[in-house]
Structure 1
Amino acid sequence: MSNLDLRQVTAPRQFGFINWLGLWTLYKKEVRRFMKVVFQTVLAPVVTVLLFMVIFAMVLSEARPDIAGIPFAQFIAPGLILMGVLNNAFANSSSTLLVSKVQGNTVDFLMPPLSALELFLAFVGGAMTRGFIVALASGTAMAFFVPLWPENVWAVVYYGLSAAAMLAMVGVIAGIWAEKFDHLAVVTNFIIMPLTFLSGTFYSVAGRGVIETISHFNPFFYMIDGFRYGFTGHADGSITVGVVMTLGINIALAICCYGVLRAGWRLKS
């Protein structure tokens, strides 16, 4: 083999700022992973959301008055949709990393020429895609029961994407930190679920004293309230504060995720 041929074999591949092929390949792998069990990852969350709708809105609707002139079923529908986004975005990114660690498959994404940024974008993008699909399916199913038409499209898009990105990044950190599924259950049961149920998903926080005050320190409240504002035009909190808070938290989480992936904490050791 000539010296020229030897250099062609041994020279590393050159990429631009982003390895688009590697990023796209890992993203497709993440999407195909949850689409192979679509009944568990998409259909089951939609059924759960519809059960909440039936119990709280259909069965109890006569006992619940309108909220700010909005029928109770129409009021809680956006919150239920976003609840599905939050839970599934977290579940996707956290489970893929934990399963890879447990099965010893982390080498599959650590060995290829993928930077920490590309890993971050692929894992978060895959989780956000699952959240978006669940939201679309849930919204379509709910439209048969309550009117769902955006009044402020920008709010629906911004808060929907912000919520999916936030919980996807929380899932990345939790999946890297966790050593077994019990650890993820701790995060879900003691952090995500309480924040979701105390965020005004099933009720209005306006005029509820201590609950209203506490809610204003809960980022989930601003995401659900802003998403609901996109559909109904009604908000219990400040939309501006919600945008600033969610943007700040997402930037901080993005920096944290990138740093953890770049250091290889609990992935390379």
Structure 2
Amino acid sequence: MSQMNLTGARALFMREVRRFLKVNMQTIVTPALTAMLYLVIFRYAMGDRHVPGMEVDYFTFLVPGLAMMAMMQNAFANTSSSMIMGKVMGMQIYLLMAPLSAFEVVAAFLLAAVVRAVVVAAAFLVVLLPFVDFSMPHPGIALVYGICASLMMGGMGLIGGMWARDFDQVAMVTNFVILPLTFLSGVFYSVQQLPPFWQAINNANPFFYLTDGFRYGFLGVGDTDPFASMGVVLVSVVVTCLACWQLWRSGWRMKE
């Protein structure tokens, strides 16, 4: 078994981190401004209304879901944009030829996606935390679900970037797959408010378990048992990461 190239993997990871930090208006300032808009719209429009079936006001219920949505979308955007830019510029063929295993490449991309997701969530929450009362009874659960969401979405972005031939195809995946799944993951509502048919549809969405588990870590309440949902989440993460590893190892659509 060959020795791992930790130096090369670290260099790739740092390249990806520096790449998104250079566009800090997008990765830090924009989430903060978005949080302020949500504050104005939802905090003062909804007032003190409570979520049915939960002893929590609507805005407090909303904040963890919005933070998770921002994490998922940014983790996906980080890997998908990097992949498609490399393909359009003809640079990915050199990465395939680099002395890095598929595991090292995938790990570097996914860890960078996790860092971006955490930075975005931190910027988002720093703005909103003064306006909500979080006891945060289960910070470990919130951390695990946040990392799992970032890994899964980073992996989906990697696959989407490998599949796409141009920016339009990446945008198609974002607009017709990622956005609907994130918006329908319980970010803006409790599943208990839905009719039974739509509850069943919602329960088939893996993003729902990520959002609900993350919210449970902040509030101590949710629509599902976060420990039971962890099985679904871990299977989704493992399947996504294995798919990334196998597709990169085979050079799928990377040499076209």
> Match of 1:65?
50
Asked whether 1:260 is paired with 2:240, we answer no
Asked whether 1:246 is paired with 2:230, we answer no
Q: TM-score, normalised by structure 1?
A: 0.90
> Match of 1:77?
63
* 8 A contact 2:46–2:59 mirrored in 1: no
Q: Give the Cα–Cα distance (whole angstroms) in 2 for the partners of residues 95 and 30 of structure 1.
A: 11
The one of 188, 194, 213 aligned to 2:200: 213
- Matching of residues 177-196 of structure 1 within 5 Å: 177-196=163-182
Q: Which runs of 5+ in 2 are unaligned?
A: none
- Matching of residues 49-60 of structure 1 within 5 Å: 49-60=35-46
Deviations 1:123-160 (A, max 9, x none): 11111110010011111111121123421122101110
Q: Give the Cα–Cα distance (whole angstroms) in 2 for the partners of residues 48 and 234 of structure 1.
A: 25
> Match of 1:176?
162
- Which SS does the other structure have where 1:143 is aligned? helix
Question: Is 158-167 or 183-192 further displaced after alignment?
Answer: 183-192
- The Cα shift of 1:108 comes to 4.0
> Match of 1:130?
116
CA RMSD, Structure 1 to Structure 2 (Å): 1.6
- Matching of residues 9-158 of structure 1 within 5 Å: 16=3, 18-62=4-48, 64-67=49-52, 68-158=54-144
Q: TM-score, normalised by structure 2?
A: 0.94
- Which SS does the other structure have where 2:55 is aligned? coil
- The Cα shift of 1:53 comes to 3.3
* 8 A contact 1:49–1:84 mirrored in 2: no
- The Cα shift of 1:207 comes to 4.2
Q: Give the Cα–Cα distance (whole angstroms) in 2 for the partners of residues 242 and 178 of structure 1.
A: 31
Percent sequence identity over matched residues? 39
Q: Which runs of 5+ in 1 are unaligned?
A: 1-13
- The Cα shift of 1:52 comes to 2.5
Q: Give the Cα–Cα distance (whole angstroms) in 1 for the partners of residues 42 and 188 of structure 2.
A: 8
* 8 A contact 1:79–1:202 mirrored in 2: yes
Q: List structure 1 runs of 4+ shifted beyond 4 angstroms.
A: none
- The Cα shift of 1:251 comes to 0.8
- Which SS does the other structure have where 1:144 is aligned? helix
* 8 A contact 2:35–2:127 mirrored in 1: no
Deviations 1:183-223 (A, max 9, x none): 11111111111111111111111142222221111111111
- The Cα shift of 1:266 comes to 1.5
- The Cα shift of 1:47 comes to 1.9
Amino acid at match of 1:212: Q
Deviations 1:79-130 (A, max 9, x none): 0000100000000000000000001111442232111001000111111110
> Match of 2:214?
227
The 1:108–1:36 alpha-carbon spacing in structure 2 relative to 1, beyond 3 Å, is farther
Q: Give the Cα–Cα distance (whole angstroms) in 2 for the partners of residues 167 and 128 of structure 1.
A: 9
Larger Rg: 1
